[in-house]
Amino acid sequence: MDLAQRGTEACGCDLIYDVINQGLCMGCGTCVATCPVRAISMEYGKPNIDRDLCIKCGACYAQCPRSFFNFDVMNQFEAIGEAIDAAMLKGDE
């Protein structure tokens, strides 16, 4: 998925799946401060999202400093890196 699109279409559930459940959350609280409807609260140092309150604005995902390190994105970067390596090796032949 296009990264800019991901940042604007993601919801609190995506933050849970892509960041928190993958162990990427560092407990900075940015998502809590960003949420316009106060759907996120910190519990035991990690965000807890009330899905009934979430209006799926994507603000928490867009502002989270760790959301762009999720595995899907890292795989994309790895694929790009591999393509560059392959192209450079081909250039040496």
Binding site for ligand SF4 (CB under 6 A): 11-12, 15, 19-20, 25-31, 34-35, 37, 39-40, 47, 49, 54-60, 64-66
Closer CB to ligand SF4, 50 or 85, in the complex: 50
Closer CB to ligand SF4, 71 or 79, in the complex: 71
Closer CB to ligand SF4, 6 or 57, in the complex: 57
Task: Say whether 70 sits in a helix, a strand or coil.
Answer: coil
- Residue 83's alpha-carbon distances to 80, 87, 89, 90, in angstroms, are 5, 6, 10, 11
